[in-house]
Amino acid sequence: MKSPWVMLFSIGLLLVVLITDAGQSHGGSPDKQIPSSGGVQGWVVRNRKTHPEGSRLLPLPRGELDSPPTLTNSIGMRLRLIPAGEFTMGSSKEEAERMAERIRQKKHDPWYLVGPLSEWPQRRVKITQRFYLGVYEVTVGEFRKFVEATDYHTDAEKDGEGADGRSNGKWETKPGYSWKNTGLDPNDQLPVMNVTWNDAVAFCQWLSGKEGQNYRLPTEAEWEYACRAGTATPFYWGSDESQRDQYAWSGANSGGVLHPVGQLKANGFGLYDMIGSVYEYCSDWYAPTAYVAALMVDPAGPASGTEIVVRSASWSTDSIHCRSAFRGSAPKTHRNRRDGFRVLRAVHDAGRRHQ
């Protein structure tokens, strides 16, 4: 048995490591924003100091320190380890009603009005399993690897209805446009667009089989938990809307075009473009009714529905929708220039290996 002095020394050394990691910056280039080690532990310290009213992390499971905070998978996709925890999901009644009024004043499409009114009452949600989430949205280059390996044809290519494309400086919707034909200059670092929920699920299934891991779309609760990264404010950078353009591509700063992933600042978990860039599909069926004001554990949405959940905001929509709690919906075959996705890779703690 170790002596008390040895135990005290060990505890002190661990605290030094955690505090040192907590001081690492999330500004600058992508490589500098994501520490090579200790990122999850460092976030625990930062979260408790900066956002005591936000997320509460669950005790770390055995083997947590052996799990890399960031990994690169077989197709070059970077994923970030997100710890289990508890957070407040949704918006306050005051915030939801304020957003609804702004939408009415701007006379936006009624589609945008449903979301804020379903964001409250707020509820406490517990995420019991840690998971890996894509540091970036799935890119054109990553989606191309899937298509080339499987000869997959997207819904836009199969049903003859096409998708969105840019011609002579204007966007249009017609047959012939798809994820690989958008009218934009070829760039493998752009988030893939013109894909449906079905296409996103097919990508996850292929990647799961390729690696023997469990890739899928995040649930709506997992998505918002990762987006907030410990915050309880309207935006993951705080409450100051004037800072939005440093973190999110929207109609206010995009110049009317899509931008490569990872160009703006990341959130506290080191995830880029969680708000803005493209809307992101979730695994849940969508329910327009208000949240249940009770503690929910790993909620996965309704058992059935007609549309699925989309979160985030997009490069071509009004910037007022760039909020952590924003929620919308779309049919499984919906696609356009504003929609994409991000993947989750499950972690299997019991076996000390990732699935």
**Are the C-beta atoms of 123 and 296 separated by less than 8 Å?**
yes
C-beta neighbour count of 81 within 10 angstroms: 22
Question: What tokens does 50 get?
Answer: 């900066």
What is the residue-level pLDDT of the chain in tens, covering all 355 positions? 444 444 444 434 333 333 333 333 333 333 333 333 334 444 433 343 334 456 676 655 554 545 689 999 999 999 999 999 999 999 998 998 888 888 888 888 777 777 788 898 899 999 999 999 999 999 999 999 999 999 999 999 999 999 999 999 999 999 999 999 999 999 999 999 999 999 999 999 999 999 999 999 999 999 999 999 999 999 999 999 999 999 999 999 999 999 999 999 999 999 999 999 999 999 999 988 877 767 799 999 898 999 999 999 999 988 888 999 999 999 999 999 999 999 999 997 543 333 3
* H helices present in 74-173, as ranges: 93-106, 111-117, 140-150, 155-158
pLDDT of residue 291: 72
Residue 339 identity (one-letter amino acid): D
Q: Which residues contact 153 (CB under 8 A, 6 or more apart)?
A: none
pLDDT of residue 349: 53
Distance from C-alpha of 95 to C-alpha of 292, rounded to nearest angstrom: 17
pLDDT of residue 54: 65
With residue 210 as reference, give the H or E element that holds it.
helix 197-211
C-beta neighbour count of 198 within 10 angstroms: 18
Distance from C-alpha of 221 to C-alpha of 323, rounded to nearest angstrom: 15
C-alpha closest to that of 227 among 267, 174, 258, 257: 267
pLDDT of residue 133: 98
pLDDT of residue 4: 44
Question: What tokens does 260 get?
Answer: 């490569």
All domains of the chain in start order, with CATH: 57-354 (3.90.1580.10)
C-alpha closest to that of 140 among 303, 5, 232, 277: 277
∠88-94-99 over CA atoms, to 5°? 95
pLDDT of residue 137: 98
